Amino acid sequence: MRKTTRLRKRPRSNVLEVRVMSPRIAWLQFVGFLGGLFKIACVFAVLTAAGWGVWRGIQRAFYQNPDFTLQVIDLNPNPAVDEMGLVRTAGIDLQANLFSLDVKQIAESLEKLPSISSATAERHLPNTLVVRVKAREPRAWVVDQNSHEVIERKPGALLVDQHGSIFPCAEHQFDEAEQLPVVLIPVSPEHPLIAGGKITQSQLTHCFRLLDAACAEDPQAIHWIESISQSNEWSLLLVTRGGTAATFSLGDHQRQIANLRAALDHAHRQGYSIATINLIPRENVPITVRDETVPRAIPVPEPTAGEIRQDRRSRDLEALLNR
């Protein structure tokens, strides 16, 4: 038998939706809508009143509380800025409430000073502003090599730190920096010497390398070095406080510093003054001598006998100068 499948028709019901709108129904819906808005407004009003109350409470408890009026500025000792300088730089109102001070802005304004590398400011309840600054450590005075002005160490003149940052010498920093040597750097419109700027020329690196070698050989070197500059692409010029102009190479500084000290010591003992000396040659070191005799008091420390014995080149140089 053959079975056939018949499609069964499902009954479909048609629903007719009729919406009846009358003025009464519209009014009731409108009243319900207004009721919802009123509830929302009430909640908003309550929250606003609570926020206003909290804000007024904070104002009275902190910002308007005389117990939190600024009374103390705790600034760490540093050569860059004092308390009055801090107040002027950051624009601090000495009658202000502690919570009204913008400690972030205070720190940022201090960091804009060329002589400060970093700064922080904090509120310490009930009435103290704590400020900590890190001043740049001067490595040398810096002067334009192209100018023929007399080198003058004084407050306001420019100093440079180990990283090449330039900053003016503060009044109470002068005693610390007065004895530092001078580094002469060629200046151009692309590389000006200005406070807040940075020296990127390789000449500064070469001069600092020689200065570091001199201080490693003699910790008192900064007291007898007047200036250092790069004469050309292959040599440096070091001038002592006694007026001796010594030519160095860009390397091998330890040997050359030892030879310079031996030569100056020999000249001191013999009572004459060296005008120029070229320390680059290992033998037959050329020197020129001033005509006038000099007093014994030369600001160059005398090397010990052990130091002279340790450096054979120094003895060779001394023998050469005795000819």
DSSP output for 184-247: EE--BTTB---TT-B---HHHHHHHHHHHHHHHH-TTGGGTEEEEEE-SSSEEEEEETT--EEE
Q: What span, in angstroms and rounded, lies between the C-alpha atoms of 260 and 253?
A: 10
Assess whether 273 and 206 both reside in one domain: yes
Number of domains in the chain: 2
Strand partners, 121: 131
Residue 272 lies in a domain: yes
Task: Confirm if 236 and 207 have CB atoms less than 8 A apart.
Answer: yes
**CATH (domain of 80):** 3.10.20.310
**pLDDT value, residue 297:** 39
Q: What span, in angstroms and rounded, lies between the C-alpha atoms of 235 and 245?
A: 12
With residues binned 3-state (H G I as helix, E B as strand, rest as coil), the percentages for the chain, rounded to 5, are 40, 20, 40
Assess whether 98 and 210 both reside in one domain: no
Amino acid residing at 68: F
Residue 142 lies in a domain: yes
**pLDDT value, residue 144:** 92
Structural domain for 279, as ranges: 138-321
Assess whether 247 and 184 both reside in one domain: yes
Strand partners, 131: 75, 121
Assess whether 80 and 191 both reside in one domain: no
Domain boundary among 135, 158, 181: 135
Assess whether 101 and 242 both reside in one domain: no
Assess whether 86 and 197 both reside in one domain: no
**pLDDT value, residue 190:** 85
The answer, yes or no, to whether the previous bond of 126 is cis (omega within 30 of 0) is: yes
Task: Confirm if 201 and 186 have CB atoms less than 8 A apart.
Answer: yes
Q: What span, in angstroms and rounded, lies between the C-alpha atoms of 151 and 36?
A: 83
Task: Confirm if 129 and 123 have CB atoms less than 8 A apart.
Answer: yes
Task: Confirm if 135 and 80 have CB atoms less than 8 A apart.
Answer: yes
Phi/psi for 85 (5° steps) reads -65, -35
Residue 44 lies in a domain: no
**CATH (domain of 222):** 3.40.50.11690
Per-residue confidence of the chain (323 residues) as pLDDT tens digits?
A: 455 555 555 555 555 555 555 676 666 666 676 777 777 777 776 676 566 555 555 555 555 577 778 999 999 999 999 999 999 999 999 888 888 899 999 999 999 999 999 999 999 988 999 999 999 999 999 999 887 767 789 999 999 999 999 999 998 899 989 999 999 999 888 888 999 999 999 999 999 999 999 999 999 999 999 999 999 999 999 999 999 999 999 999 999 999 999 999 999 898 899 999 999 998 888 999 987 554 443 444 545 545 544 454 444 545 544 44
Side-chain half-sphere exposure of 53, counting CA atoms within 13 A: 6
Alpha helices in 14-80 (DSSP H): 23-58
Strand partners, 184: 143, 229
Assess whether 107 and 168 both reside in one domain: no
Q: Which two tokens stand for residue 322?
A: 């005795």
DSSP-derived 3-state class of residue 25: helix
Residue 78 lies in a domain: yes
Assess whether 200 and 123 both reside in one domain: no
Assess whether 144 and 105 both reside in one domain: no
Question: Measuring CA to CA, which residue among 276, 268, 281, 274 is closest to residue 317?
Answer: 281
**pLDDT value, residue 125:** 87
Domain boundary among 85, 104, 135: 135
Amino acid residing at 74: D
Phi/psi for 103 (5° steps) reads -65, -30
Strand order, beta sheet including 116-124: 72-75, 128-135, 116-124
